[in-house]
A = this chain, B = another copy of it.
């Protein structure tokens, strides 16, 4: 029996998971030996995986000092969300031009089926998975695998910012319900009508609203970090 998954792949996935679970704090230096113990892999394959994450923008690297978790500044968050707008709106435009009606209808059905789950979900991780899944499918309708790859890279980095946001929403239960699918529905209506402007405007404002919420959540989370220990 031959192996199907490379060890580097396994380590790489584990590292992404750790990043999403706040295992690394922004700007934290990553100790390769300690990490290799945790992951059950030696430093050689670990470093190969870390280099992939550097190339993807998850981590930074300094010569002779090693790998660092990327700092989480407001302007970085803004950049990531703006890049998402670029990727998703162009994908939506392409989908309006060429996605078959049947696939658009399938995504509508999916959204309808998921709506109860969406509204009853209380676990932020679950909600986030549902939301990411919708956006992934939307971009898949463009048929462009580079746009999909870019979205997945951005979402990988945005994920833990959004988790901060969703946890805050659950705690405060203020304003917009987190399980609100109306924005997604508006996007799909525009898409079904092949109305590029209506669809992209809806999507753009949806993502920008999410960005404002996330930025605020991170601001609050940071301010709490600076509360002195008693």
| Chain B proximity mask over A89-124: 1 for CB below 8 Å, otherwise 0 | 111001000000000000000000000000000000
Judge if A87 is at the interface, Cβ distance under 8 Å: yes
Contact A3 B63 (CB under 8 A): yes
Least distance between A28 CB and chain B CB atoms (Å): 20
> Is the pair B55, A56 in contact by a Cβ cutoff of 8 Å?
yes
- A63 contacts B150, CB within 8 Å? no
| Residue of B with least CB distance to A58 | B55
Q: A86 — which chain B residues lie within 8 A by C-beta?
A: 86-87, 89-91, 147, 150
Cα distance A157–B62 in the bound complex, in angstroms: 25
Q: When chains A and B are docked, how far (Å) is the Cα of A215 from the Cα of B53?
A: 31
In angstroms, Cα B91 to Cα A83, docked, is: 9
User: Which of B2, B56, B144 lies in contact with A82, CB distance below 8 A?
Assistant: B144
Question: A52 vs B60: C-alpha distance in the bound complex, in angstroms?
Answer: 12
State the Cβ distance, A99 to closest chain B Cβ, in Å.
14
Copies in the complex: 2
Contacts of A89 in B (CB 8 A): 86, 90
Q: Which residues of B contact A78 (CB under 8 A)?
A: 144
Stretch of A43-51, A161-169, A186-194 lying at the B interface: A43-51
The segment from A4-12, A127-135, A219-227 that touches chain B is A4-12
Residue of B nearest to A54 (CB): B52
Taking the complex as formed, is A64 at the interface, i.e. its CB lies under 8 A from any CB of chain B? yes
Q: Is A85 at the interface (CB under 8 A from chain B)? A: yes
Which of chain A's residues 138-176 have a Cβ closer than 8 Å to chain B? 142, 144-147, 149-150, 154
- Cβ–Cβ < 8 Å partners of A8 in chain B: 51
Which B residues lie within 8 Å of A64 (CB)? 2-3
Kindly state the separation between the CA atoms of A219 and B100 in the bound complex, as whole angstroms: 27
Interface contact B146-A79, CB-CB below 8 Å:
yes
Give the distance in Å from the alpha carbon of A228 to the alpha carbon of B79 in the complex.
Answer: 50
What is the distance, in angstroms, from A97's C-beta to the closest C-beta of chain B? 11
A84 to chain B, nearest CB (A): 9
A-B pairs, 5 with minimum CB distance = A86-B90, A55-B55, A52-B55, A79-B146, A83-B146
Can you pick out 21 interface pairs between chain A and chain B where the beta carbons lie within 8 Å of each other? A2-B64, A3-B63, A3-B64, A48-B48, A51-B55, A52-B52, A53-B55, A55-B56, A79-B144, A82-B94, A82-B144, A83-B90, A83-B146, A83-B147, A83-B150, A86-B86, A86-B91, A86-B150, A89-B90, A90-B90, A150-B150
